[in-house]
Amino acid sequence: METAFKLDLLHRPRRLRRTATRRAMVEETVLRPADFIAPLFVVEGKAPPDEIRSMPGVFRLGLPDLVKECRALFKLGVPAVALFPKLDPKLKDPEGTQALNEDTLVLRAVRAVKKAVPELVVITDVALDPYTSHGHDGVLTPAQDDVENDRTVGILARMAVLQAQAGVDFVAPSDMMDGRVGAVRRALDAAGYTNTGILAYSAKYNSAYYGPFRDAVGSAQAAGTRLLSKATYQMNPANRREAITEVLLDEAEGADIVMVKPAGMYLDIIRDVREATRRPVAAYQISGEYAQIHAAARLGWLDLARCRHESLLAIKRAGADLILTYFAKDMAAALR
């Protein structure tokens, strides 16, 4: 009988992987419900939740259902939500004037949520794409061929003050205009809202994966295409060093939290940003990332629960302290 082959090894890393208990003892990255921020879409009226076709399990919610969802999320341990309005197309115009309406949808949503769940952290988007008829994040130049940076920033600063007045905890400039974080910080401080934080979309790339989100807020419909290019203000996906420039500028201008968006295809950027700043780092697992996992799972090609967990684990392992994800509720329930 042939003798079993034996290696003379001092180190056998598999010893730490032999049982579930051992694996748990040496686990380096752990997901918690407190890691997640849930993006939520709000619409007018009291109609039943409207599922977004390209984002299974994600709904546009009227105010009563929005409040109900926020209560459920907070009960599961999710500490924060990010609100995005879908306006009636009739309210949109080239200047995005509804963004400065003191009773606009998202401001009423903030007031309703903070009244119902005051401990929940509420974040609001500071950009004009849900409000403009052309779908861009700011107002256009006279030639209609680009977004006008400085005039847009002036509108965004006023928009942020209105959101602070409504009771929001963090405003989140997502527009990628130059100088907008500093302008927003100065406007908030001048209006007395020194405790309102800024979560800056610092390294936001011109990604092809935003399509389902644009469906959700109606900016694709406004523009007439989900393929609207924002290349003159969102970052080039080919660039890595530029992300650090953007992050450090936002930090210097007063950002409390910096963000990388998208997350899953930009893990190297998350790691670079984590090493470059002492600020908390957020990452946004965007609509296209969510949609492709769901699509493959529905075809039976992937295990939804395992891929959901692994995708978020990778984002945290790369260095994100906070993760905006449409999986927030399901993940929080699974982890608890």
Chain segment 129-184, per-residue pLDDT in tens: 999 999 999 999 998 889 999 999 999 999 999 999 999 999 999 999 999 999 99
Read off the DSSP letter of residue 167. Answer: T
What is d(CA 41, CA 43) in angstroms, rounded to the nearest whole number?
7
pLDDT tens digit sequence for 277-296: 999 999 999 999 999 999 99
- How many Å apart are CA 96 and CA 161, to the nearest integer? 16
Q: How confident is the model at residue 223 (pLDDT cuts 50, 70, 90)?
A: very low
Judged against a pLDDT cut of 60, whether residue 228 lies above it is answered with yes
| pLDDT tens per residue, range 81-130 | 999 999 999 999 999 999 999 999 999 999 999 999 999 999 999 999 99
Q: Which residues contact 13 (CB under 8 A, 6 or more apart)?
A: none
Kindly report the CATH number that applies to the domain delimited by 30-335.
3.20.20.70
Instruction: State the residue for tokens 């100088």.
Output: 179
Q: Give dist(CA 132, CA 95) in Å, integer.
A: 6
Q: Round the average pLDDT of the chain to a whole number and report it.
A: 95
Could you give the CA distance from residue 251 to residue 265 in angstroms, rounded to a whole number?
A: 23
Which position among 204, 230, 316, 329 bears the catalytic label?
A: 204
Residue 145, CA distances (Å) to 24, 82, 89, 152, 328 in order: 55, 30, 22, 14, 38
Note the pLDDT of residue 28: 96
Q: Is the pLDDT of residue 331 over 80?
A: yes
For the segment 190-204, the average pLDDT, to the nearest whole number, is 98
Question: In 3D, which of 219, 194, 199 has the Cα closest to residue 124?
Answer: 199
User: Could you state, in order of their start, the residue ranges of all structural domains in the chain?
Assistant: 30-335
Catalytic residue among 92, 114, 261, 316: 261
Rounded (10°) angle between helices 304-318 and 267-276: 30
Quick check: 334 pLDDT over 80?
yes
Tell me the mean pLDDT in the region 201-221: 86
pTM confidence score: 0.94
Contact residues for 88 (Cβ-Cβ < 8 A; gap 6+):
44
Instruction: Outline where the chain has alpha helix (H).
Output: 20-25, 63-75, 105-116, 149-166, 180-190, 211-217, 219-223, 241-253, 267-276, 287-298, 304-318, 328-335
How much of the chain exceeds pLDDT 90, in percent?
91
Which is more confident, 138 or 3?
A: 138
pLDDT over 70 for what percent of the chain?
97
Write the secondary structure of 115-142 as one string of H (helix), E (strand) and C (coil): HHCCCCEEEEEECCCCCECCCCCCCECC
pLDDT over 90 at 221, yes or no? no
User: Cβ distance 61 to 44 under 8 Å?
Assistant: no
261 given a catalytic annotation: yes
pLDDT tier, 222 (very low <50, low <70, confident <90, very high otherwise): very low
Work out the average pLDDT over 53-80: 97
Tokens coding 33: 């419900």
